[in-house]
A and B are shown apart, each in its own frame.
Chain A
């Protein structure tokens, strides 16, 4: 029994790290462009599908891991230019535009890749004994890789010029413009980067989830929970909340049905929204 609980907690940690990556993408887009991207879950789904297709097509998962996020970066830039930027003036309606985007992405995948769910073989096979249970090596590798990506992201944001620009544009777009930061281009890049992070999360998650056009619909509420509980725009908070929520849900599923666990975390999110609308860790960032 205790091994079983442990395995659920580790599963939660693995998923938490991957979701943290996706939710961070959602969070930087919200923080800078002030839009709620309902299509973000579908970008994750696009990552799982792209990962599977490239890995099966070329025979190399590692190539997929490299190529798909780059495609995501380009795709995000194109979508920002064609769909997001023209509708930014209708700020309250961006949820509607991204909802339309979400319909298009799902239907495109259904039209090309097909409606059947598929599973993908793990690129690293075998299991390793962890505290008395045999655990898949790939899941541990996926968690480690997601953690490395998170560290690289924060280094990029805090140590490079582009990262500084993103933070500056988020803090005060007008002053940033006056100081010569190309805010419009920084916004475009941020949207592209957020999209690429969702696709990257998708490739990492492809071997441990079902790959189909609906996966994004399941993952989106979880990403939103992480972003809200962590505090909208509070990036470290988002990461902490994603990991905490996933581990807690994993532990709760040892005594509850998965849906009951999900209902409890959604209820928790409601409480946070109402009582601490700036997130659980609001005081810590000040």
Chain B
């Protein structure tokens, strides 16, 4: 077995498990957990957004919540104001976030290192305060709620988000599409440019890569991912609130991405899953579970900076290497 085959098998198992969730969990008497898995899928896109910038281009953004918020309000306001359907509203959310990422990115990606982290926080804070004070538009802290339109209406049949199973599959389909798109981008020539810029921007520039444009493209793509996350979360919660634009939300996304394994495609999904499952299990018995979250964050940076996915990849590679080496070692005495 090669590493690629093990990974393909693991991916297939993961997909089957995710598809089986709406049947398997209620059968185990855990209907409540279907929505938790849906929530994990949604938030993992925000973590993937932070990861695309940090793990693949080397820019640590603490402001992805801004684009999450634009995705949320793009959905909520377009449904409230113009009576948009599901897909146009989703597109509005993603486009609003991408446009905002383009406008802020033009300025932000001129900076790197700590300065980039700070300016992304500042941008998200500006719009957080603005959204908090423009209550007539955003509803401020309380937010605005809406009733979601149906996903499909064909003849007499409608698919509506009111059905938890339909809602789960819609979310799973969109999140899977986003992760597949990320994987495609990362393995394309553009993805190679991302990595070149991450490893050494000066050398990347010397071999003819436009570093600024590469960073800007990554920033807009990451904005689109965060926007998709926010748009789905708006549909999921049936509301949009300015409180989700605060920089603590961005910080959580970065933590999820790093615990899951930055620089890998599915790492953010595992990190988000681990921490949300942890929250659901522990917060009911221990009110101050956040103490453990903070400690886990620090310990991961200290001892496993490549995260869960990094540890898994190391494990797979290590096991396969040993498997490949053992027969060879056994073969030597036979030959001699």
Contact = CB atoms under 8 A, between A and B. Distances in A.
Given A93-B301, A270-B122, A277 B115 contact: yes
A223 B110 CA distance: 23
A236 to B, nearest CB: 20
Interface string A216-238: 01000100100010001000000
Contacts of A108: 288, 291
A152 interface: no
Interface stretch (A14-22, A119-127, A130-138, A254-262): A254-262
Contact of B301 (A97, A107, A277): A97
Given A93-B305, A270-B123, A277-B115, A103 B133 contact: no
Interface stretch (B32-40, B124-132, B202-210, B319-327): B124-132
Interface string B88-129: 000000000000000000010011011101110111011001
Which of A30, A38, A83, A97 counts the most B-chain CB atoms under 10 A from its CB?
A97
The dominant DSSP class at the A interface is helix
Interface residues of A, number: 41
A107 B117 contact: no
B75 interface: no
The dominant DSSP class at the B interface is helix
Interface string B145-158: 00000000000000
Interface in A94-113: 95-97, 99-104, 106-108, 110-111
B288 A110 contact: yes
A107 B288 CA distance: 6
Contacts of A93: 60, 258, 301, 305
Nearest to B119: A273
Given A217-B248, A228-B118, A111 B297 contact: no
25 contacts: A36-B118, A38-B251, A90-B301, A90-B305, A92-B54, A92-B58, A95-B117, A96-B297, A100-B255, A100-B294, A100-B296, A101-B298, A103-B293, A104-B290, A107-B291, A110-B288, A217-B248, A221-B121, A221-B125, A228-B118, A266-B129, A269-B122, A270-B122, A270-B126, A274-B110
